[in-house]
Amino acid sequence: MSAIPMPVTPVEEQKCIMFQFPSKGGSNAKSASVGVSNKTYAIKDENKLKLYISYYNKKKKFSIIDMEKYALVMFELCVGLRISDIIPRTWDDVIDGDGYREFIRVRQKKTSKYGEFGINPLLQSVLDEYKAALKKYYGEFNSEWYLFPSSKSATGHITRQGAWKWVNEGAAYAGIELNVSNHGLRKTFGYTSMKTHQDDAMLLATLMRLFGHSSERITLAYCGLDEDNNKELYNDVSNYYTDSIP
């Protein structure tokens, strides 16, 4: 792996927003970190999602690390891979000649199964911007570099913990109170896919395959659609009773 020059980390890069939630106890209380919720959620509110993305989009001009944060967030939102399968990726994994691969084939760490994940036009434009920023900052570019290098190691990539801090920074700005995390962005990819392709009969099967799920019910729950259906059911019951009250 070709070493990447070490970036200078500005003081503000040492700061991040951490979200903690009270533990409700129960059988998993001992295995969970005290005071921290392990459950992650898709960002379902369209306005909050736009604000969340705009936080990183606005900050990207301040430093090369801010540009890297923006690229990471967009990669997670656009591709739907687990963070453990994103951080080992190099530029060679996504570049094809002078352009980008339409799909990248990844052997997923958790399941050992191969999957094909697309690089859509939006992500391509983000990666173009990111690559240009790297060339300008370092005066060079090497396709053997990790897509998301560590700011602490010239030859390593960002850690899962580091990525977790990055993707949670924009939550407060967007007014998101629930736990986002890297897995939450993967769920957001699924939720957005479902909401924007409601008439696509094959979409659920496609998401099942991408996520490696064994049933449609698991995929619906994973993307948060079951929660939406539950809310709709209870609201409909409420409206029915309200209309019956003289």
d(CA 24, CA 30) in angstroms, rounded, equals: 11
Side-chain half-sphere CA neighbours of 172 within 13 A: 8
pLDDT score recorded for residue 232 = 56
- Cβ contact 76:83 at 8 Å: yes
Please report the pLDDT score of residue 14 as a whole number: 40
What is the pLDDT, as a whole number, of residue 212?
Answer: 81
Q: Which residue bears the tokens 């993305």?
A: 53
The pLDDT assigned to 155 comes to 76
**Which H or E run contains 3?**
none
Query: Would you write out the chain's pLDDT as a tens digit for each of its 246 residues?
Result: 777 777 655 544 443 333 333 333 443 333 344 444 577 889 989 999 999 999 999 999 999 999 999 999 999 999 989 999 999 999 999 999 889 998 888 988 888 888 889 899 999 999 999 999 999 999 999 999 999 999 877 679 999 999 999 999 999 999 998 888 999 999 999 989 888 887 777 888 888 888 888 888 888 887 887 665 555 555 555 676 677 676
- The beta-carbon contacts of 214-221 under 8 Å, at least 24 apart in sequence, are 219/190
In this structure, what DSSP letter does residue 4 have?
P
The pLDDT value given to residue 227: 62
Q: What pLDDT is stored for residue 122 in this prediction?
A: 94
Q: Give me the numbers of helices (H) and strands (E) for the chain, helices first please.
A: 10, 4
Are the C-beta atoms of 115 and 210 separated by less than 8 Å? yes
Give the pLDDT confidence score for residue 108 in this predicted structure: 86
| Rounded Cα–Cα distance for residues 197 and 204 (Å) | 9
Report the alpha-carbon distance of residue 44 to residue 229 in Å, rounded. Answer: 13
Q: In the prediction, which pLDDT does 34 show?
A: 44
Length, in residues, of the chain: 246
* Alpha-carbon gap, residue 128 to 38, rounded angstroms: 34
pLDDT at res. 15: 38
In sequence order, what are the beta bridge partners of 114? 107
